[in-house]
Chain A
């Protein structure tokens, strides 16, 4: 997608598993000490409408842009309060019309540390926890960020800090709010000049605007079942719009809001296996595709 890149972290980040197998960067849950949740997720993302700046349109020269990814994910509990998370996706992109070549490859490795600052009873109904996450991301292959909307990512190094508040009721209902600020490093293109945001830049270096995002989730979490609905919004803090009939560019101001429904279920048998199914829809955006995405994942929890 235009924001292929932009959406992926969310797709990956929202992969909470049930009970023993939990955790995304933005949820309110932790793996217990010496437990490892790991597995693979497959995501199919497609769009045929996109926002050229703020103008919503289709484009016969690309038709539908499909992005598929298989992501390996692992979350290990160093202690009950400190988890480390790693993930890396392999991504394929394709345009259904026109002549542009598909692209594929290993995208970015994300490494994160997730720390629960506090967990405290809150009202008579449940408990409140506060979690902070620090994460780093970097490309694992030499893919080009200069072929949007078919590039598999932005190829920028990233550092992100996230704060999450999670309220869990005794009956199983929860609400979760999370926000992150992501710093993004400069990207190097294969060409000596480019035009974006109203200016010609006579360099192969592209300054990437930082990103702010927040998510709000509500749902049910008890036993082996987790059913959240999540609204998320990403704002890129700078960058130019796609010009009229231009190609998208890596540093565009890619904004979107998205709604996602997830079902996570820990199978009664075989034990330690959880399934994750998710569907999401981009509701509004700027310089991104109007994505509809589906995810299916299989995760396994090891206890050491």
Chain B
């Protein structure tokens, strides 16, 4: 009897549960930014003349002249758009709405998602060793890449600058060929995306799809399928929205890919391949610090993990020469044997032991650790709102992300140069009772990467959006001090990092003042 009761009952409750599950409310949250379709306030038709960094100029790439408006081939392209518009699927409408938010903003958002997805350190193997991600075997465990802060900074900068330069080339040819959009030449075609004020050939949406795909498949090869699908959707949206004809898109895609090739070639020889270093070199850092009478940095992970990208300081910067990087390197941190260091250490200890809820919130807000879009991604997130509100043309939106991200890439190079020059221990290494409320980064302490990134970003964004300058400055300071609250940095790391980042950001600001966009 007892048994029968016990058996019968769970079935009854399972039925009840099923009913409850079926009636469960929809709790979905938006997974992408809300970007309402808007036309730019200026078309920036002269952007083809803006100064470039990697590309020598529009003439480096040839874009064949388009077929005449009256040609049979073009008329047939227009007819196919009319047919497509008469049979729009729900998915196509959603895609048009999505990409109407702006191709540059959307790709930036996609990139932030890719960084967050791949920003995970390799797990130790059973024998306590670590295997480095392999670009030629990206689906393995560990997956390639480990999109840590330097990797992410470089990735954001390659994608953003390649997009910017490709769009500048596109703008030059748009001005030259001046072919109107399909909706402007054919009364039977509706404009389902906001007007851009620039001509249609080559299509900027296709340029973006092509250049972004090529860079992202290099940087995130395991995501190639998703990237390719997104890029295809972008081109399809441009076509069926009446913004671009098939030949506009074909020319844009070819141009985007061609410009990407120049950046892919640079990426292959910028020093990233050697950034991991080797065991002998890691030991040499420790030996050099010890020889200077300093306590060398040690990994506090278990098992100990090799330091993150020790040679990233030698990766090629965008606007700084190796001599610039060396010249801007901050002076040494307080000696680990000094009273000043003891004082700094005591401040960290006191902070983590008496952390207020508000301080914890600040530490968590700016944590940007493993599994997130990283500190540079956080600043892209911040910039995206300003770009959205500014109603920029695609090429000017691309300029914001390009300038922001080349500055943060150069900040990463400069910061990593300093970190491995000094090989300074984290607070928790010198005082094992210091416990952190965010993850402890596995690389030397001095200077604070977050402070360096943030100061460089704030400098660039303050130039581009002067109205936000005080806000950027406050965010930079909060991002810096968050590392003290988190227990992972001394105050000296933060102060030196901010000064260093501001100096590095100035290189980009100086470029921006003369690139032709603001004259």
User: Known contacts A194-B372, A247-B371; is A201 also within 8 Å of B29 by CB?
Assistant: yes
Question: B381 — which chain A residues lie within 8 A by C-beta?
Answer: 192-193, 202
Q: Name 16 A/B residue pairs within 8 A (Cβ), A-sorted.
A: A101-B435, A101-B436, A144-B364, A161-B20, A179-B17, A186-B27, A186-B29, A191-B365, A191-B367, A193-B373, A194-B372, A195-B116, A195-B372, A201-B31, A202-B381, A244-B141
B-chain residues with CB within 8 Å of residue A142 when the two chains form the complex: 357
A100 an interface residue at 8 Å Cβ cutoff? yes
Structural contact, B437 and A192, CB atoms closer than 8 A: no
- Given contacts A99-B428, A237-B24, A244-B123, whether A207 and B373 have CB atoms under 8 Å apart is no
- A173 interface hit (Cβ, 8 Å): yes
- A169–B2 CB distance below 8 A: yes
Q: Is A115 an interface residue (CB 8 A)?
A: no
User: How many angstroms from the CA of A190 to the CA of B362 in the assembled complex?
Assistant: 8
Q: Indicate if B250 sits at the interface (CB-CB under 8 A).
A: no
**B117–A195 CB distance below 8 A:** yes
Chain B residues whose C-beta falls within 8 Å of the C-beta of A208 in the assembled complex: 27
Given A142-B357, A179-B13, A193-B381: A246 and B370 interface contact (C-beta under 8 Å): yes
A200 touches B112 (CB 8 A): yes
A46 to B50, CA, bound (A): 62
User: Does any Cβ of B come within 8 Å of A203's Cβ?
Assistant: yes
A100 touches B436 (CB 8 A): yes
Complex Cα–Cα for A246 and B113 (A) = 16
| A190 contacts B364, C-beta separation under 8 Å | yes
- CA–CA, A247 and B373, complex, Å: 15
Instruction: For B146, give the chain A residue with the smallest CB separation.
Output: A245
Look across to chain A and name the residue whose beta carbon is closest to the beta carbon of B303.
A60
A200 to B370, CA, bound (A): 13
Give residues 234-256 of A contacting B (CB, 8 Å).
Answer: 237, 243-247
B301 within 8 A of A: yes
Contacts A214-B13, A244-B142 given; indicate if A97 touches B302 (C-beta within 8 A): yes
**A56-75 residues at the B interface, CB under 8 angstroms:** 60-61
Inter-subunit contact B17/A212 (CB<8 Å): yes
Taking the complex as formed, is A225 at the interface, i.e. its CB lies under 8 A from any CB of chain B?
no
A195 to B381 alpha-carbon distance, docked (Å): 14
A169 to B300 Cα, complex, angstroms: 58
Contact with B along A185-199 (1 / 0, CB 8 A): 010011111110011
Per the bound structure, the CA–CA distance linking A14 and B361 in Å amounts to 34
Tell me which of A165, A179, A190, A218 contacts B365 (CB under 8 A): A190
Check if A61 sits within 8 Å of B21, measured CB to CB.
Answer: no
Tell me, yes or no, whether A138 is within 8 Å of chain B by CB: no
Those of B355-391 within 8 Å (CB) of chain A: 355, 357, 360-362, 364-367, 370-373, 378, 381
Tell me the minimal C-beta distance from B156 to chain A in angstroms.
Answer: 14
The tally of residues in A whose CB lies under 8 Å from a CB in B reads: 59
Instruction: With both chains docked as a complex, state the minimum distance between the C-beta of A61 and any C-beta of chain B, in angstroms.
Output: 6
Q: Which residues of B contact A179 (CB under 8 A)?
A: 10, 13-14, 16-17
How many angstroms from the CA of A137 to the CA of B481 in the assembled complex?
35
Residue of A nearest to B361 (CB): A190
Check if A207 sits within 8 Å of B372, measured CB to CB.
no
Given known A-B contacts A99-B300, A216-B10, A200 and B17 have beta carbons under 8 A apart: no
* Closest Cβ–Cβ distance, residue B226 to chain A (whole Å): 10
Q: Select B120's contact among A189, A190, A244, beta carbons within 8 Å.
A: A244
Provided the pairs A193-B373, A199-B31, A200-B373 are in contact, do residues A247 and B123 lie with their beta carbons within 8 angstroms? no
User: Residues of B contacting A199 with CB < 8 Å?
Assistant: 31, 113
Q: Is the CB of B360 within 8 A of A246?
A: no
A residues near B143, Cβ cutoff 8 Å: 244
CB-CB under 8 A from B364, the residues of chain A are 144, 146-147, 189-191
Give the docked Cα–Cα distance between A294 and B1 (Å): 32
1/0 per residue B411-441: CB within 8 Å of A? 0000000000000000010000011110110
Q: How far is the CB of A208 from chain B (nearest CB, A)?
A: 8
Asked if B71 CB lies within 8 Å of chain A CBs, one says no
Check if A147 sits within 8 Å of B437, measured CB to CB: yes
Residue ID in chain B nearest A207 by CB atoms: B27
In the assembly, what is the distance between CA of A192 and CA of B375, in Å? 12
For residue B350, CB closer than 8 A to chain A, the reply is: no
Q: 14 more A-B contacts (CB under 8 A) besides A237-B21, A247-B371?
A: A100-B437, A100-B439, A101-B436, A101-B487, A144-B360, A146-B364, A183-B24, A198-B117, A200-B116, A201-B30, A201-B31, A202-B381, A203-B29, A244-B120
With an 8 A cutoff between CB atoms, is B72 at the interface? no
**A99–B373 alpha-carbon span in the complex (Å):** 23
Closest to A203 in B: B29
